[in-house]
Amino acid sequence: MLDTPSQPPLARARVRGPVHADLVYARTAQQQPRYYMFEPPPGVERLVGEYAPQRVRIDDGRDASQPFSLDEHGFALLEHATALADAYDDAAVRSVYYPEMERLVQRASGAARVLVFDHNVRSGPRAKAGQRGIAEPVRLVHNDYTAESARLRVQQLVPAEAESLLARRYAFINIWRPLFGPILDTPLAVCDARSIAPADLLKLDLIYPDRVGENYHFVPNDAHRWYYYSEMRADEVLLLKCMDTPGEGRARFTAHTAFDDPRAPSETRPRESIEVRTIAFY
């Protein structure tokens, strides 16, 4: 039920197939980067670290001969219509969308149980206008969790069950959906997990007023294989594996980032999207 209008006439050029675009990577593994989740002290940059754009080839996942899968590649595209009418209605997201996403991830992952625990709604114009609770698309190559921060999150969310749940397999899986379609502005790029080397991962400290969390940023590697899904619709979702416990041949982390498609017409409607974070317990 989300908004699915067509783009304005001038923006209806087909934007499909492979593209070369700039992705912003961390430039060195010698410096511990950090990001302040609140207004930092005077004279301190919100993002501390060395970053620079890198031109890469991003292939269109719709052109692949076989579909991508969560366990092999770290991401998967699924069709899914939602009963959610307004993603900016926080209560509706929690009461309508959260249960839908729990059922979706359970079917897609084969997990015994799925817990939805967080979501973000992204809109560049609304965020710049100061609308509370709305974020801009993230234009840094990143992954939402490290093995350590994922374990800590389980302990925080389900403390009474944490010991038994952490003794078995568990995975953090995000679900990303555009709020209208087709999306031409700042689509989401995802990296094939098989092309990521352990040395590519760089821990980022997330500084909160009362604690320090962490996720992964990435340094460049010519072996990285990047994909996006052209002209995504509001009845499509992209599942991302953000952390999985170790398993033979199984994807554990998936780098991802928004990017500016140089082919997108200037009149393109700015992207709006919702992402939900889940934990799949096996």
Q: What is the pLDDT of residues 188-229, one digit of tens each?
A: 999 999 999 999 999 999 988 888 889 999 999 999 999 999
Residue whose token pair is 């006439």: 9
DSSP string, 65-82: SS---HHHHSEEEEE---
Domain extent, residue 268, equals 18-60+68-281
* Band (89; pLDDT cuts 50, 70, 90): very high
In a domain, 195, yes or no: yes
Residue 100: the pLDDT is: 98
Residue 10 lies in a domain: no
Q: What's the average model confidence in pLDDT over 39-48?
A: 87
* pTM for this entry: 0.93
Burial class (CB in 10 A: 0-12, 13-18, 19+), 45: exposed
Alpha helices in 129-166 (DSSP H): 147-157, 162-166
Whether residue 194 is contained in a domain is answered as yes
35: tokens are 């990001």
Q: Is the pLDDT of residue 10 over 90?
A: no
Specify if 2 maps to a domain.
no
The predicted pLDDT at position 237 comes to 98
Average pLDDT over residues 17-21: 97
What is the predicted pLDDT for the residue at 210?
A: 83
The count of domains in the chain is: 1
pLDDT at 13 over 70: no
Q: What pLDDT is recorded for position 15? A: 85
CA distance 223 to 159: 40
Encoded tokens for 268: 């393109």
Q: What share of the chain is helix, strand, coil (3-state, %, to 5)?
A: 20, 35, 45
For the segment 90-96, the average pLDDT, to the nearest whole number, is 98
Is the predicted pLDDT of residue 257 greater than 90, yes or no? yes
Q: Is the pLDDT of residue 8 over 60?
A: no
**Least confident range of 31-35, 146-150, 176-180:** 31-35
Residue 12 included in any domain: no
Average pLDDT over residues 151-170: 97
Query: Is residue 1 one of the residues assigned to a domain?
Result: no
pLDDT band for position 85 (cuts 50, 70, 90): very high
Mean pLDDT for 150-154 is 95
Whether 9 has a pLDDT exceeding 60, the answer reads no
Lowest pLDDT segment from 27-36, 58-67, 233-242: 27-36
Residue 7 lies in a domain: no
219 belongs to a structural domain? yes
> How far lies 35's CA from each of 47, 161, 215, 253, 259, in Å?
5, 31, 10, 20, 20
